[in-house]
Amino acid sequence: MSVHKKKIFYAEDSDSLIKLMSYKLQNEGYDITVFTNGEEVFERALKEKPDLVILDLMMPIKDGLTVLKEIKSNPETESIPVIMLTTNAEEENILKALEMGADEYITKPFSTAVLLAKIKKIIG
Amino acid sequence: MIQTVIKNLQSIIGIIIPTGEKFLFILTQVIVFLSIVSFLLVIVVLILRLIDFLEQQRKNKFLAKWEKDFYEYLGSPDNPGKLLNGVKKSQYRFLLMVMRDLFSVLDGKDLESLKRIVNETSVYNFLLADLKSRSTKRIIRAAYFFGASDNKNVKALLFGHIYSKKSDVFIFCARALARINAMEYATAILLASRYQRNLSTDILISILLEYKSDVCNYLLERIRFEDDYYKQISIQIFRFHGFREAADEVLKIFQSSSNKKLLIECIKYAGSIECIDAIPYLWEHFEHPDIVIKTASIEALAKIGGTELAPVFVQRLYEESYEVNIAAAEALFALGEKGIKLLQVVAKSNADSKASAIAKMVLSENFIEIDDE
């Protein structure tokens, strides 16, 4: 019997962090798709309807807030939970992200255990 | 025809240009020489690319084996020494590359795990050799990891590098000392920074801000014995930390100094901590002939003062200096309802088009209608 794996989109421009988080999330039984910039996240989310999207705020080509806005303003994707990854210096952006519908945020530097706990809380 | 041109050229530039067979011979020699140089350059580029490719291969091969164990280890109580079993010293640079990226983004148990690799394994001796070397690249690498790992054993070695003429070495070693919170070297960092020609004040401030906030007590104890530069930097650090205990000392400096940069820092500090005792001195500088000092005083008074200051700020809207006008308009806005009403009156009036335009600008920046009725 095949078990349905929860699908997570993870958009981040740090190669080392992508590898670490991919390993940790796969270990927890999630199906993870990574993006190194924000360009394709929304289009893919529209097609594949992931269970969760994790967005780094600062990304090349298209930043996290723009992608969040795209996801939350489309009726087909607005219910997908989004976690934003930010730095402490971006307090204004944290507020903006929460106003725009982000479900949770994590500030860098962060503990992977805390991020995993927040993911579990949102999608189980 | 060609020979006539060459002769004419010779007479103009005064150099004898060979003609006939001799000319062809020299031309051939030049072409052959250039061909050989181009060929050698292509070979060098190919060799460099090959070296880079092989290095990448070695890195990928190593990481493919090591990364899984590393990710398992992160956040666990496991012995970091086990992680390095079978890892050659020549491969340390690869693991340090991965760790460097993660040091700045990880916290909690993950960060502790990274620190333990640096402090409790053979990586420590590897980096120690780097710190003792003469290579800028290696010193910088060691300083970064020791600073990030809060390794107090290497404080003296880091200090040994802060008088280096190389600004990168100074910046990394000073930053490492600050991260370790080596308070006893804070003054030395400030003094050594003067020998760095290309070091900006912003970078120095960013280094000192790596210290924990108790650096303020340390700087305060010494401030009266040091010169204006030390005072100016220290007051900025006090302001960033919101350190109110320095108010008395800063006010003394404010009254006695005539150094423009230092005065501006005193004014900014007084405003940021809303120091009521500073109001009389800020008033004195409110009429200062220097626009920057005057602007800073308006901004500071706006933070400290009450609505009774509103008419004075309105007067400043009609001054010649654009900077003073902007500061006054923002000060009025900061005062709240009364200040905003006055801005609206000025915005609607046509008595002075510049004052009106500035009032409109500040109101619209803050999404306030000019006419609130």
CA B92 to chain centre: 29
B interface test, pick of A111, A114, A115, A118 with most B CB neighbours within 10 Å: A111
Residues 6 or more apart from A37 whose CB is under 8 A from it?
A11, A13, A59, A60, A61, A62
Angle at B13 between CA B11 and CA B16, to 5 degrees: 70
Q: What is the pLDDT of residues A10-24, one digit of tens each?
A: 999 888 899 999 999
Asked if the Cβ–Cβ distance from B107 to A110 is below 8 Å, we say: yes
- Closest CB from B67, B98, B110 relative to A112: B110
Query: pTM for this one?
Result: 0.77
Q: Shortest CA distance to B171 belongs to which of B132, B139, B149, B212?
A: B139
At B225, the amino acid letter reads: F
Q: Long-range pairs for A71-80 at CB < 8 Å and ≥24 separation?
A: A71/A41, A71/A42, A71/A45, A72/A100, A72/A101, A74/A42, A74/A46, A76/A46, A76/A49, A77/A42, A77/A45, A77/A46, A77/A49, A80/A45, A80/A49, A80/A50, A80/A51, A80/A52, A80/A53
Host H or E run for residue B12: helix B2-13
What confidence score (pLDDT) does residue B6 get? 61
Residues 6 or more apart from B173 whose CB is under 8 A from it?
B139, B143, B158, B159, B161, B162, B164
Q: Shortest CA distance to B323 belongs to which of B353, B294, B343?
A: B294
Of residues A60 and B132, the one with the higher pLDDT is B132
A interface test, pick of B59, B66, B72, B107 with most A CB neighbours within 10 Å: B107
| pLDDT of chain B, 373 residues: tens digit per residue | 556 666 665 666 656 666 677 888 888 999 999 999 999 999 999 999 999 999 889 888 888 888 889 999 998 998 999 888 888 888 898 999 989 999 999 999 999 999 999 999 999 999 999 999 999 999 999 999 999 999 999 999 999 999 999 999 999 999 999 999 999 999 999 999 988 888 899 999 999 999 999 999 999 999 988 889 999 999 999 999 999 999 999 999 998 988 999 999 999 999 999 888 888 888 788 778 888 898 898 888 888 877 777 777 888 888 888 888 888 888 888 888 888 888 888 888 866 678 888 888 888 887 777 775 5
- Closest CB from A14, A19, A113 relative to B105: A14
ipTM, two decimals: 0.89
Q: What is the pLDDT of residues A73-93, one digit of tens each?
A: 999 999 999 999 988 666 778
Asked if the Cβ–Cβ distance from B107 to A24 is below 8 Å, we say: no
Q: Is B162 helix (H, G, I), strand (E, B) or coil?
A: coil
- Closest CB from A23, A111, A113 relative to B71: A23
Cα B170 to Cα B192: distance, rounded to the nearest angstrom? 8
Q: Are A86 and A57 in contact (CB under 8 A)?
A: yes
Structural domains in chain A plus CATH codes: 7-114 (3.40.50.2300)
Distances (CA, A) of B4 to B16, B17, B20, B25, B66: 13, 12, 13, 20, 74
